[in-house]
């Protein structure tokens, strides 16, 4: 349940703001039709005021159910900051008729579910196979009226919320943003953090939270959205029976100020300066904006795309390409009340924030003084329009779009008017909004200046042996007990109809997988090149990543800016990133732009030139990223954990250091590129609206001349024994408030015959933070962590089995002891038949939801191919899970759960290992 989710949501799905990496066309821009998404939407208002939006989408046998409440941090008054978010957490704690953790009920249905709180709204969403639709509707109606808000629930969930807030405190960017927003909006709820403050959360009373629930969680203050594979009339009948009986609640009137944005003659504010432990230097600037219904909104969003939309944008060119900043982003928050525009920049090593602030002001002034070019304007428009289509490829996103527009803009059709207005924005309008809203007198600017030298972590201590506390976990949840509270499913869904990709290999060895999907005019491309960081070695750690990061920096015929514009002019996107076992390629665009996407991919894979000046800029960015990673308990903890499992000579041991990054030369990049970037090392998967015959011809044409001598390099990965004793490592990072712990050891590969049994085992142990044994005990019952998960990182080679959690430093020891006790309990007592069957159902029921998103399908097809699985694995996966036997499960526990051999790494603010342990 992520408070921060709304940020990524607004940036990735909704076209109201954004540091988009997509882009636009230099020719005139025709408005993108919203009809394909708005068409077929039916709005029904029940007698009790509940707004219901239904939209049939028969592309996959799944449905999404979302409930949007028009309440968020905007509605909070002094002393209750964070109460909307606290209530969101409590909505999972059960109801009077179903006094069980709702996460377990959703998991049992195979729902992919979550919730988030934002400024104006709190939303709950789940996507399931279509036969579970009525069950999901029943559960959402139940918690709209009957949620348990009692002392026991509030006490445990307060600890969880505080753990979440303390986790955010670890981020210098969060701390800077909080200071800037409070200064920008001193008398408005928008100036307070959405998640709340520890001081307010600690004081919440049951009566206070219950009153808030009864005030705002009322049918007339909510929108129910249903999208997917259903028939409208019978479903509306169920909705009326289920929700129609819920009563309206008496309204509590809360006095709210409704400030407007007015011209200001206030003298320019002094910058806010935070000098605290941290890694990189940060800048944030905030400017007041009007509300979402203001006619200036489309021009503001076009302005944002011109400033921060991709590599060709003005601020990227002025700040990042000049070497002043390692990143820059912008976003416009247009909300029910007047919102704000914010710009964020991270300084490159050795660069002054004051200089970045000066260049930023010069760029904004230029936008105010001179009209933008037609090329820039059209690129920005296409960027916004394409991001809308690409962001709505799956039914969950379509439901989210409808819910957001209805709740915040007051009309689900808002997107139609918005996109039509985007197409009409003129250079004069962009110049006008820049003058009106980017006024230096209205700016609030903040600088984060790290006090810790070089981002180096502090001291560490290590201990081997037993943890101090002995802890007895509660009994595992009985699925039969849970089943009493589950609404029935209507019928089974047959998921064996998934189309299989066509596979072929070009003469040069390049493997291709194609799957035609004509539901939307989009293309999703995923690829892998066997050129991952496993080939780095310790001396040149970071080489694979720097090579991948420099691919788009120039070819024999195009420089970096030309390459960027080629894609951004069309709203398309192409990215490369090295992981352990390969370089991941991801691309997306509208189907008409498939040739451009493929031609650009071929150009950079065959003809990259690695310009020296761009290598230096990317090296500086890599050094900044390294500092940030070592200053983050998650990043540092994961590195220490990985290096404790794999010995120094193992390919999985190497991580970049400042020394290794500085030692890498252009010749190293060229050598790595020539050795590892080969057609017979490359696999590409394409899913989307294309003609397979034409695509084959195109691939043969653009990749046909790509060749490489000899055979590709092969790496022999040595096997790694489990540690003989339990090992504890503790890493201290000054200035942090929350600890992150990793627990585990080397695991299995994807082709290990025990893999499917391991997945079922993991589902029971920690596959879901609300429904698993770890989640039930450590998060739900004890309230020790905001999130606890387990997983097998099973690739071509064995990767770690790991458990990850975040806790207050004082709670780390207890949470670790609880986790060890649960592992011992699992090892000694195994799992019950009912748990085993419930876990298999949960995995197989949720799998069709993945297959409903073309982007996910492309990724699954690629992974299966790279891992050496058959093309039919995408269809057979649920059968393989169902085929796991109890005997295989018990054997997997015996083989893979070894509490005595664990590596335990905690990274955070201080001593979490008691003396003498």
SS3 222: strand
CA distance 128 to 126: 7
pLDDT digits (tens, 9 = 90+) for 610-646: 999 999 999 999 999 999 999 999 999 999 999 999 9
**What parts of the chain have a pLDDT lower than 70?**
1-36, 251-267, 452-472, 491-496, 911-917
CA distance 649 to 671: 22
Half-sphere exposure of 372 (CA within 13 A, CB side): 32
402 neighbors 227 (Cβ within 8 angstroms): yes
315 neighbors 328 (Cβ within 8 angstroms): yes
Per-residue confidence (pLDDT) for residue 264, from 0 to 100: 41
Q: Show the tokens assigned to 109.
A: 């249905």
Buried b (16+ CB within 10 A) or exposed e, 248-280: ebeeeeeeeeeeebeeeeeeeeebbebeebbbb
In SS3 terms, 853-880 reads as: CHHHHHHHHHHHHHCCCCCCHHHHHHHH
795: CB partners within 8 A, 6+ apart: 580, 581, 749, 750, 867
Per-residue confidence (pLDDT) for residue 770, from 0 to 100: 86
322 neighbors 621 (Cβ within 8 angstroms): no
Per-residue confidence (pLDDT) for residue 631, from 0 to 100: 95
Per-residue confidence (pLDDT) for residue 910, from 0 to 100: 77
Record the pTM: 0.92
Per-residue confidence (pLDDT) for residue 394, from 0 to 100: 94
Q: Which residue has the tokens 């039509």?
A: 420
Handedness of CA 506, 510, 511, 516 (dihedral sign): negative
In SS3 terms, 385-430 reads as: HHHHHHCCCCHHHHHHHHHHHHHHHCCCCHHHHHHHHHHHCCHHHH
CA distance 423 to 34: 12
Burial tier of 837 (Cβ tally within 10 Å: 0-12, 13-18, 19+): middle
- Write out the H or E segment, with its range, that includes residue 172: helix 172-184
Per-residue confidence (pLDDT) for residue 452, from 0 to 100: 65
Beta strand 511-516 pairing with 682-688: parallel
The alpha helices in 749-872, defined as continuous H runs, are 755-765, 773-774, 812-829, 833-851, 854-866
Q: What are phi and psi of 706, to 5 degrees?
A: -75, 125
**Nearest alpha carbon to residue 91 among 139, 159, 129:** 139
Other beta carbons less than 10 A from residue 596's beta carbon = 17
Q: Which residue has the tokens 């988030």?
A: 116
The alpha helices in 60-112, defined as continuous H runs, are 83-90, 102-108
Per-residue confidence (pLDDT) for residue 804, from 0 to 100: 98
Burial tier of 694 (Cβ tally within 10 Å: 0-12, 13-18, 19+): exposed
CA distance 217 to 713: 60
24 neighbors 222 (Cβ within 8 angstroms): no
CA distance 249 to 657: 59
337: CB partners within 8 A, 6+ apart: 74, 188, 190, 258, 259, 291
CA distance 158 to 209: 11
pLDDT digits (tens, 9 = 90+) for 88-134: 999 999 999 999 999 999 999 999 999 999 999 999 999 999 999 99
SS3 113: strand
653 neighbors 666 (Cβ within 8 angstroms): no
pLDDT digits (tens, 9 = 90+) for 667-682: 999 999 999 999 999 9
536 neighbors 733 (Cβ within 8 angstroms): no
Half-sphere exposure of 328 (CA within 13 A, CB side): 31
How many degrees, rounded to 5, is the angle at CA 786 between CA 783 and CA 792? Answer: 115
CA distance 205 to 208: 5
């Amino acid at each position: 349940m992520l408070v921060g989710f709304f940020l990524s949501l607004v940036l990735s799905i909704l076209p109201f703001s954004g540091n988009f990496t997509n882009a636009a066309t230099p020719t005139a821009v025709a408005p993108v039709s919203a009809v394909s998404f708005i068409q077929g939407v039916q709005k029904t208002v029940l007698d009790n005021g509940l707004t219901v939006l239904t939209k049939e989408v028969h592309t996959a046998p799944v449905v999404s159910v979302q409930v949007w409440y028009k309440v968020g941090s905007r509605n909070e008054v002094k002393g209750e900051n964070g109460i909307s978010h606290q209530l969101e957490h409590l909505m999972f704690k059960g109801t009077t008729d179903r006094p069980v953790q709702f996460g377990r009920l959703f998991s049992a249905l195979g729902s992919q579910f979550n919730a988030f709180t934002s400024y104006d709204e709190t939303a709950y969403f789940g996507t399931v196979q279509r036969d579970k639709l009525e069950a999901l509707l029943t559960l959402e109606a139940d918690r709209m009226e009957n949620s348990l808000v009692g002392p026991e629930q509030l006490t445990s969930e307060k600890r969880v919320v505080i753990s979440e807030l303390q986790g955010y405190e670890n981020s210098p960017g969060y701390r800077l943003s909080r200071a800037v927003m409070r200064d920008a909006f001193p008398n408005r709820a928008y100036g307070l953090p959405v998640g709340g403050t520890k001081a307010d959360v600690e004081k919440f009373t049951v009566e206070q939270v219950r009153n808030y629930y009864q005030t705002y969680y009322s049918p007339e203050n909510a929108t129910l959205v249903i999208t997917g594979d259903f028939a409208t009339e019978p479903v509306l009948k169920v909705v009326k029976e289920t929700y129609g009986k819920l009563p309206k609640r008496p309204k509590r009137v809360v006095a709210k100020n409704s400030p407007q944005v007015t011209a200001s003659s206030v003298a320019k504010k002094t910058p806010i300066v935070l000098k605290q432990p941290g890694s990189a230097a940060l800048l944030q600037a905030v400017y007041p904006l009007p509300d979402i219904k203001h006619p200036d909104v489309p021009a503001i969003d076009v302005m944002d795309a011109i400033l921060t939309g991709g590599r060709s944008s003005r601020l990227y060119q002025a700040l990042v390409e000049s070497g002043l900043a390692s990143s820059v982003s912008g976003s416009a928050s247009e909300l029910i009340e007047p919102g704000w525009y914010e710009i964020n920049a991270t300084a490159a090593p050795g660069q002054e924030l004051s200089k970045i602030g000066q260049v930023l002001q010069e760029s904004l002034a230029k936008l105010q003084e001179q009209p933008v070019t037609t090329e820039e304007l059209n690129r920005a428009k296409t960027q916004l329009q394409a991001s809308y289509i690409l962001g709505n490829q799956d039914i969950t996103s379509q439901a989210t779009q409808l819910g957001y527009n209805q709740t915040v803009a007051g009309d689900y059709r808002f997107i139609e008017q918005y996109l039509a207005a985007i197409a009409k924005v003129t250079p004069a309008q962009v110049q006008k909004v820049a003058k009106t809203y980017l006024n230096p007198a209205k700016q609030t600017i903040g600088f984060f200046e790290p006090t810790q030298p070089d981002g180096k972590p502090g001291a560490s201590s290590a201990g081997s042996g037993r943890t101090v506390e002995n802890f007895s976990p509660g009994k595992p949840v009985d699925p039969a007990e849970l089943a009493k509270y589950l609404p029935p499913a209507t019928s089974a869904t047959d998921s064996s109809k998934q189309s299989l990709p066509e596979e072929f290999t070009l003469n040069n060895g390049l493997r291709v997988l194609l799957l035609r999907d004509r539901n939307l005019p989009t293309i999703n491309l995923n690829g892998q090149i066997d050129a991952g960081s496993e080939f780095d070695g310790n001396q040149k750690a970071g080489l694979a990543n720097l090579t991948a990061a420099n691919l788009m920096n120039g070819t024999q015929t195009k420089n970096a800016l030309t390459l960027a514009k080629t894609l951004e002019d069309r709203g398309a996107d192409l990215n490369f990133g090295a992981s352990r076992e390969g370089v991941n390629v991801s691309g997306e665009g509208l189907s008409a732009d498939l040739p451009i996407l493929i031609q650009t991919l071929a150009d950079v894979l065959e003809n990259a030139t690695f310009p020296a000046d761009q290598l230096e800029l990317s090296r500086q960015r890599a050094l900044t990223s390294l500092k940030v990673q070592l200053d983050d308990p998650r990043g540092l903890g994961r590195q220490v954990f990985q290096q404790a499992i794999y010995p120094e000579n193992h390919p999985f041991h190497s991580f970049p250091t400042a020394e290794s990054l500085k030692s890498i030369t252009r010749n190293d990049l060229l050598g790595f590129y020539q050795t590892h970037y080969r057609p017979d090392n490359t696999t590409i998967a394409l899913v989307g609206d294309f003609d397979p015959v034409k695509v084959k011809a195109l691939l043969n044409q653009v990749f046909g001349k790509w060749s490489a001598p000899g055979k590709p390099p092969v790496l022999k990965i040595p096997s790694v024994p489990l540690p003989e004793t339990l090992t504890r490592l503790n890493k201290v990072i000054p200035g942090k408030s929350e600890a992150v712990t990793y627990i585990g050891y080397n695991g299995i590969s994807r082709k290990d015959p025990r893999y499917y049994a391991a997945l079922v085992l993991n589902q029971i142990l920690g596959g879901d933070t609300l429904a698993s044994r770890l989640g039930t005990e450590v998060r739900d019952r004890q309230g020790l962590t905001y999130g606890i998960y387990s997983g097998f990182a099973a690739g071509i080679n064995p990767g770690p089995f790991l458990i990850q959690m975040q806790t207050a430093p004082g709670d780390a020891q207890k949470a670790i002891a609880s986790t060890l006790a649960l592992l011992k309990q699992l090892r000694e007592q195994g799992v019950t038949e009912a748990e085993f069957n419930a876990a298999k159902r949960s995995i197989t029921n949720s799998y069709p939801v993945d297959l409903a998103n073309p982007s996910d399908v492309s990724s699954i097809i690629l992974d299966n191919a790279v891992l050496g699985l058959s093309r039919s694995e995408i269809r057979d996966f649920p059968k393989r899970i169902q085929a796991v036997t109890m005997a295989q499960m018990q054997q997997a526990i015996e083989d893979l759960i070894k509490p005595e051999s664990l590596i335990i790494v905690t990274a955070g603010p201080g001593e979490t290992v008691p003396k003498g342990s």
